[in-house]
Structure 1
Amino acid sequence: MVIEVRLLPMGDRAVLAEVGSLAEVLALHAALQAALPLIERTGTHAAGGVSRAWSSARPVELVPAARTVLVAFDPGRMPVSAVRGWIAEIAGQAAVGDAPTEADEVEVPVVYDGPDLADTAALLGIDVGSLVARHRAAEWTVAFTGFAPGFGYLVSDDWPYDVPRLESPRTRVPVGAVGLAGGFTGAYPRETPGGWRLIATTDAVLLDPDAAQPALLTPGARVRFRESVASGRATARAARTGDPTTADSAFTVVEPGLLATVQDLGRPGAASLGVSHSGALDRAALRAANRLVGNDEDAAVIEVTMGGFRAIADRDLWFAVTGAWGPITVDDEPIDPYDAHVWPRGRELHLDWFAHGARAYLAVRGGVGGAAILDSRSTDVLSGLGPARLAAGTRIAPAGAAAREVPPSVIAPWGAPHDDELEIELAPGPRADWFTPDAQRTLYESVWTVTNDADRIGMRLDGPELARARTDELPSEGMVPGALQVPPSGRPTVLLADGPVTGGYPVIAVVAEGSLDLLAQARPGTRVRLRHARPA
């Protein structure tokens, strides 16, 4: 059966390819994945009859979900027309059942000792032995990942059951728990809340950021569950933290303020593993701070939210602070932002509470060290990847990665962030047709207010309700930073850098790439006006 695909916009940096079934998702994703090495090998690809150079312009993300494949790309290197042409061409050549057969089979050892095993069997009208036998005998395929890094949604033609989720989700599901929900099975790679019915445990390492393939269960992989004779006490290892603490420290945190984390430019390319992009919310401010102290623009820095940060230098340092504006002192001596300064050993740096903006970036010459996870030192507050949130007593390692001399001071235009009212540009979203025409007008004609529910994961906006034209449930699909999801309340939430890579609320629009940094400086109470993005 040939795959029919509907191409939907997901902002200005992604396309959502929608098909009719999960089987078609598997086939399309496999075909697109298989085409990437061909693109890289030949350096060109015919898209819409036009030969284009693709050797350095391949899509950066392929994220399968329940009925869609998200294709993210860099519009500076490949136009959206070429991306859409490539997807349509590959879909026209693919067919259900075309998924590669050479994929290795992954064996997952399990002990069927889950707390919901007996109740689930009774719910399905079978005995425990029959449930275990069917689960173990089935050949499973990882359809997609999401929810948490390394969490795979597994499906099987051999599995006939549709298992309802728990009416009241658990607040804590242990690492290694194996559960059932709907037609899926899956194993939890880290401790997290969850509503799946738990039937088993595994001691398999489900996510190892140091490995060449960090996730054990990747989209398209074939999986068998093998009954183990182990105790059933899961020892599956979640991601290590990449803690920057070291005996040879650059500075020691005295007070972290509201929130202080290590950030660089994030982890692009890992969304198919369920890993968010993460990284600095105000990327322009991070780049500026690094340039001021002679670092490469992508060096790790400290992102300070709302201020209140204090630290003492453990060695002589150069530093710079950019982004949000507030009083900055070294041993009570005021210093200017957006300039490089000496931070003598033993002196205390204080970033007081910010008067304007929400996030400042503290760069030290050489960058912040610590282990990189998936090529990034960023803290992901949703998944737990990367260093822990900074706390009093945290000693920050130097990276020793200065790229050039500290530039001479120059007068450059800068000022306090505008955080009273922001004008944010929106690109089209894939589910705009799920909303009434009145909702579309309301979105752009209203003044929205940033609520207190705003963090690195997302930002909830308060304002009038956006009425839905469709009220049915949306299967999970790939998300991008800036997606405006609209939950049943009708008030949009903007997903940010640590937001989940898949979601089940319709996306009415997506913040254009050029406006994302502006949102990083929005504070609770900031007014937001939404505008149509200008054509590129």
Structure 2
Amino acid sequence: MTPIQQQASKATHAEVTGIRPAGNRAILVELSSLDAVLSLQAQLTAHPQPGQIDVIAAAATVLVTAESSQAIGALAAHVRGLDLDAPAEIQSALVTIDVVYDGEDLDEVASLTGLGREAVVAAHTGQLWTAAFAGFAPGFAYLTGENPSLEVPRRRSPRTAVPAGAVALGGAYSAVYPRQSPGGWQLIGRTDAVMWDLGRENPALIRPGDNVRFNAVRAQATVTAGRQAETRQPAEDQPSEEEFPAGEGAGLIVRKPGLQATIQDLGRPGFASLGVSSAGAMDRGALRRANRLVGNREGAAGIELLFGGLELEALTDQVLAVTGAEVPLEITPASKGGTTPARHPECDAPFALLAGEMLKVGNATRGLRSYLAVRGGIGGPEALGSRSTDTMSGVGPNLLEAGTVLPVEPANPGSVVGHPEVSPLPESDQATVLRVVPGPRQDWFSCETLQDFLKQEWTVTPQSNRIGLRLKGQSLSRSRDGELSSEGTVRGAVQVPPEGQPVLFLSDHPVTGGYPVIAVVVHADLDKAAQLPPGTTVRFAAAPPSAALPETLKESSHA
């Protein structure tokens, strides 16, 4: 691989043109050029500031997240003092990807561009593309072309599932979806290229700075890359990071997983620049409480379950606790022929599950997600420093299935079980109020639309999941036309697609998005959003000044 140097633009001075709050723990830095974007990302990555978590580069912005509003205020001041004319060193390689051009939106793209199908394919394959930055999902690279002939708007309503390997166009970019995920880009073809593989030395097939050529084929699509040492192994030869091995530490076995049961800890922050969201427990407070109750550190891995329905058998004696949604618990004895009655432990308190006993978690009567912690914490392989299942990116273990054996880590020496606690849950008979601060793209909406957003009640739809809450209500209209360039997003961001129905991003959200963010739910209210089942209602309320960002940052919003 030959190093290439991204030189600062000679036509304009590389500078910060604006700093916008993106919630109360993040800023969106607007920059004068892509060179300035790359320079800022490189400097913050090489010299992270106190409290800094993630740095997400995009076409003309860099999103920076931090541990607190105080830390993000200091980061904003630091960013304003950096010299962005400094060049950024990037490694480059040529990647060639075979594509079958039969996408669902190929005719639509031909119509939008005024080209025929064949001309669209010729334009896509006839130019050299460059990976400007990564985002949205692991292995998703935003590719810029040499001419604007294929610039097309995103779909008015994003698809809930775009297949893995889909080759797409969105705005001025092209990309390949690394796995099945929601998406609003125009689909023109498909490839067998593996865009993300944790078994490789570098998981991403295409890195920022790489050059990409697409090759039209009529049959099976393949990939060739300049990095011969990183060729993907056959799937059957790769070690699986999603298997939980039985062995000395095996403590529980899943008999019934319920609707959706996953392993979750507090997530993997710090990898958003690779397209990997932090993921982790949706209701982090509930997971922390469950771990405290059994004497674990608060970030130990437990089980997150949706609507209950989980059945676990203890292989060895265990201490458990269940928090979050209100669910009935029943423990049946190991001896099926005996007369020992079933036990019914309480939620939000520790209890014993002896070897051979079965725990049944019933259907939730209030709330949506429950959290089960086991003393010592659930073990197994880590992916990027976490055991969390990320349903968006596919990083981490699979959903739990019947027969899954869960290893349990040894308890921390000297740790003790905790006293019963209370799980705060939203009231089911009234709208849940979520406090918001202005979004970085609130100026895409009129004052009347902003008032409509705040005064009405929104209904949570069944299409909601760990990626986000899809809400239904009176449509919100934008005050300006055109497309927003893709940029970093945060947990709690409320995006508004062209159809006007907002989406509230949650734990497994994509790290970048192309729809304007009208508001961001404050960090303290995100656990409440995790407990909202379909059919319940939400109302957004402007957060008081104490929940917003420091005054020093507000003053820099148009630096």
- TM-score by length of structure 1 reads 0.82
The match for 2:241 is 242
- Distance in 2 separating the partners of 1:515 and 1:169: 26
Q: Percent identity?
A: 40
Q: How far off is 1:77 after superposition?
A: 5.8
Q: How far off is 1:160 after superposition?
A: 5.4
The match for 2:452 is 442
1:128-167 aligned within 5 A: 132=125, 134-135=126-127, 138=128, 140-156=129-145, 158-159=146-147, 161-162=149-150, 164=152
2:94 counterpart of 1:94 = no
Q: Cα distance 1:365–1:244, how it changes in 2: closer, same or farther (>3 A)?
A: farther
Q: How far off is 1:492 after superposition?
A: 2.2
Local SS of the residue matching 1:449: strand
2:236 counterpart of 1:221 = no
The match for 2:328 is 327
AA matched with 1:447? E
AA matched with 2:80? A
AA matched with 1:296? R
- Distance in 2 separating the partners of 1:193 and 1:510: 20
The match for 2:286 is 285
Q: Cα distance 1:178–1:364, how it changes in 2: closer, same or farther (>3 A)?
A: same
- Aligned pair partner of 1:8 in 20, 23, 46: 20
Aligned residues: 502
2:32 counterpart of 1:28 = no
The match for 2:416 is 407
The match for 1:44 is none
The match for 1:104 is 91
- Distance in 1 separating the partners of 2:373 and 2:381: 17
Q: How far off is 1:85 after superposition?
A: 2.0
- Aligned pair partner of 2:498 in 470, 488, 497: 488
Does structure 1 retain, via aligned residues, the 8 Å contact 2:55–2:65?
yes
Q: Cα distance 1:404–1:442, how it changes in 2: closer, same or farther (>3 A)?
A: farther
2:298 counterpart of 1:297 = yes
Q: How far off is 1:304 after superposition?
A: 0.9
Q: How far off is 1:33 after superposition?
A: 2.6
Does structure 2 retain, via aligned residues, the 8 Å contact 1:303–1:362?
yes
Larger deviation, residues 480-489 vs 160-169: 160-169
Q: How far off is 1:321 after superposition?
A: 0.9
RMSD (CA atoms): 3.6
Give per-residue Cα distances to partners, 1:441-468, cap 9 Å, x unaligned.
Answer: 2333333333333221111233333343
2:384 counterpart of 1:381 = no
- Aligned pair partner of 1:68 in 61, 70, 75: 61
Q: Cα distance 1:524–1:74, how it changes in 2: closer, same or farther (>3 A)?
A: same
- Distance in 2 separating the partners of 1:181 and 1:487: 14
Q: Cα distance 1:485–1:131, how it changes in 2: closer, same or farther (>3 A)?
A: closer
The match for 2:530 is 520
2:22 counterpart of 1:17 = no
Local SS of the residue matching 1:85: helix
Q: How far off is 1:226 after superposition?
A: 9.5
Q: Cα distance 1:404–1:123, how it changes in 2: closer, same or farther (>3 A)?
A: farther
Give per-residue Cα distances to partners, 1:152-211, cap 9 Å, x unaligned.
Answer: 01224x4454265899999997756666655434344335687656578575x5323355
AA matched with 1:266? G
Q: Cα distance 1:432–1:175, how it changes in 2: closer, same or farther (>3 A)?
A: closer
Does structure 1 retain, via aligned residues, the 8 Å contact 2:387–2:397?
yes
Q: Which runs of 5+ in 1 are unaligned?
A: 41-53
AA matched with 2:244? T
Give per-residue Cα distances to partners, 1:119-139, cap 9 Å, x unaligned.
Answer: 99973876988975x43xx3x
- Aligned pair partner of 2:196 in 204, 207, 212: 207
Local SS of the residue matching 1:78: helix
Larger deviation, residues 367-376 vs 301-310: 367-376
Local SS of the residue matching 1:63: strand
Larger deviation, residues 27-36 vs 176-185: 176-185
Larger deviation, residues 7-16 vs 470-479: 470-479
- Distance in 1 separating the partners of 2:240 and 2:540: 37
Local SS of the residue matching 1:494: strand
Q: Which runs of 5+ in 2 are unaligned?
A: 1-11, 224-230, 333-341, 548-559
The match for 1:51 is none
Does structure 2 retain, via aligned residues, the 8 Å contact 1:294–1:405?
no
Does structure 1 retain, via aligned residues, the 8 Å contact 2:294–2:375?
yes
Larger deviation, residues 188-197 vs 310-319: 188-197
Local SS of the residue matching 2:93: strand
1:467-478 aligned within 5 A: 467-478=477-488
Q: Cα distance 1:339–1:60, how it changes in 2: closer, same or farther (>3 A)?
A: same
Local SS of the residue matching 1:393: coil
- Distance in 2 separating the partners of 1:502 and 1:473: 14
Q: How far off is 1:261 after superposition?
A: 0.8
Q: Cα distance 1:99–1:162, how it changes in 2: closer, same or farther (>3 A)?
A: farther
The match for 2:338 is none
Q: How far off is 1:358 after superposition?
A: 0.9
AA matched with 2:422? W
Local SS of the residue matching 2:376: coil
Give per-residue Cα distances to partners, 1:358-390, cap 9 Å, x unaligned.
Answer: 111111122122221111111111222221211
Which is bigger in relative contact order (C-alpha 8 A, separation at least 6)?
2
AA matched with 1:325? E
- Distance in 2 separating the partners of 1:231 and 1:361: 44
Does structure 2 retain, via aligned residues, the 8 Å contact 1:242–1:377?
no
- Distance in 1 separating the partners of 2:389 and 2:490: 18
Does structure 2 retain, via aligned residues, the 8 Å contact 1:250–1:317?
yes
1:361-376 aligned within 5 A: 361-376=371-386
- Distance in 2 separating the partners of 1:37 and 1:143: 16
Does structure 1 retain, via aligned residues, the 8 Å contact 2:23–2:521?
yes
Does structure 2 retain, via aligned residues, the 8 Å contact 1:324–1:359?
yes
